[in-house]
């Protein structure tokens, strides 16, 4: 068996994200491009569904977000440069996107409750959380004892805070709401917006970087060239059947072998250490044979001699537990692979 909680879930999901076949890089880079673009747009002073702030405040918030997005994307990339030292981005992506969606819905609700528009004015205004005592009396229709400026002498008295605000001096919302509640509403909107955008950007970046990890790698020894293919590029979770979306990756390997004019190739399957050793051994062999059969049948390499074997869990690239004995899902992920080995030309 292969697996581990969120990592196992990710193994189920990634094949669906890779159905673009040779164009799958478009999917893999989408999150990073979106976040980088988001950062650039923010640095230019633009926001998506911004809180109703003054133009100067909006531009300031946008630029702060742009800087934070850029730093966050660079940090995630640097932390994930090497599999041995990388962090597991699956829970980061899932938790960040989940939190971002919930926060975004909350932000939209708060934005709807605290912002006002008047029929003769396209501008959006931010209201407060608590009405002035005199404003409460006006809305209740009790004008006795109120100062002259609070009296409504033309038309019917307003029934809602929005209606009263639209009848008043809109440049002074403290006429309707208390100063403290206006400040609280301002901070609530800004902080909620900032955290929401940060969570969504983090989730998109983590998802893209996690997908980007799954690429064909080519390394060399003194005599051989080793092509390492993560099993997520080739197989659905816990199977040895080549996925249709894998053609582009195996085509690349077949071209490399043809260009090198190889006569003999070794194909070795590997699993992680999760589950029964005998099962992992069998699965690694089945996957190695599946790759060999594809290269012979569809890769045009019928004249090449293939030596096929499975190493099971015996030859991990990385330790699957840390010094405290805690599981390292990202290391397990890297250990699940098929290696195609041939002599250097």
45 Rama sector, left if φ>0, alpha if ψ -120 to 50, beta otherwise? left
Residue, of 251 and 18, whose pLDDT is higher: 251
Residue 5 sits at the vertex; the CA angle it makes with 1 and 14, to the nearest 5 degrees, is 80
Rounded Cα distance, 114 and 192, in Å: 13
Residue 254, pLDDT > 60, answer yes
Per the CB < 8 A criterion, the answer to whether 291 and 50 are in contact is: no
Q: Is 321 helix (H, G, I), strand (E, B) or coil?
A: strand
Per the CB < 8 A criterion, the answer to whether 293 and 338 are in contact is: no
Residue 7: band (very low, low, confident or very high) from pLDDT cuts 50, 70, 90: very low
pLDDT of the residue at 87 = 56
Contacts of 168 (CB under 8 A, 6+ apart): 175, 176
Residue 38, pLDDT > 70, answer no
CA distances to 15, 58, 136, 188 from 127, in Å: 47, 17, 14, 12
pLDDT of the residue at 83 = 42
Contacts of 309 (CB under 8 A, 6+ apart): 266, 267, 268, 269, 285, 288
Average pLDDT of the segment spanning 193-211: 78
Average pLDDT of the segment spanning 277-282: 94
Residue 281, pLDDT > 90, answer yes
Average pLDDT of the segment spanning 125-129: 92
Residue 100, pLDDT > 50, answer yes
Q: Is 290 helix (H, G, I), strand (E, B) or coil?
A: helix
Residue 109, pLDDT > 80, answer yes
Please give the CATH superfamily to which domain 217-343 belongs: OmpA-like domain (3.30.1330.60)
Residue 321, pLDDT > 50, answer yes
Residue 275, pLDDT > 90, answer no
pLDDT of the residue at 74 = 73
- Which pairs from 16-22 meet CB under 8 Å and 24+ separation? 17/211, 18/232, 18/233, 18/243, 18/245, 19/244, 19/245, 20/245, 21/244, 21/245, 21/246, 21/247, 21/248, 22/247, 22/248, 22/251
Rounded Cα distance, 63 and 66, in Å: 5
Residue 9, pLDDT > 60, answer no
Tokens matching residue 51: 């809180």
Domain ranges of the chain: 5-114+187-213, 217-343
């Amino acid at each position: 068996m292969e697996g581990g909680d969120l990592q196992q879930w990710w193994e189920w999901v990634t094949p669906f994200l890779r159905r673009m076949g040779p164009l799958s890089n478009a999917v893999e880079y989408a999150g990073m491009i979106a976040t980088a673009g988001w950062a650039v747009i923010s640095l230019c002073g633009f926001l998506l569904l911004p809180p109703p702030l003054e133009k100067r405040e909006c531009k300031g918030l946008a630029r702060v977000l742009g800087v934070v997005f850029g730093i966050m994307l660079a940090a995630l990339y640097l932390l994930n440069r090497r599999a041995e030292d990388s962090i597991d981005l699956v829970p980061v992506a899932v938790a960040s996107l989940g939190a971002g969606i919930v926060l975004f819905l909350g932000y939209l609700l708060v934005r709807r409750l605290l912002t006002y528009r008047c029929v003769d004015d396209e501008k959006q205004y931010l209201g407060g959380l608590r009405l002035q005592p005199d404003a409460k009396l006006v809305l209740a229709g009790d004008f006795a004892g109120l100062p002259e400026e609070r009296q409504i002498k033309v038309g019917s008295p307003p029934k809602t805070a929005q209606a009263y605000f639209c009848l008043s001096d809109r440049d002074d919302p403290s006429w309707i709401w208390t100063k403290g509640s206006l400040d609280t509403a301002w901070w609530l909107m800004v902080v909620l917006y900032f955290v929401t955008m940060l969570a969504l950007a983090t989730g998109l970046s983590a998802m893209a970087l996690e997908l980007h990890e799954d690429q064909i790698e080519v390394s060399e020894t003194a005599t051989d060239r080793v092509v390492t293919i993560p099993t997520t590029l080739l197989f659905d979770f816990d199977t040895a059947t080549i996925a249709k979306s894998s053609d582009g990756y195996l085509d690349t390997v077949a071209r490399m072998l043809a260009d090198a004019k190889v006569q003999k190739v070794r194909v070795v399957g590997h699993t992680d250490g999760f589950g029964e050793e005998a099962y992992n051994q069998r699965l690694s062999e089945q996957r190695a044979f599946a790759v060999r059969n594809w290269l012979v049948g569809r890769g045009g390499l019928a004249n090449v001699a293939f030596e096929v074997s499975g190493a099971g869990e015996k030859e991990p690239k990385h330790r699957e537990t840390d010094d405290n004995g805690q599981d390292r899902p990202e290391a397990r992920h890297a250990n699940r692979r098929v290696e195609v080995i041939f002599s250097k030309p």
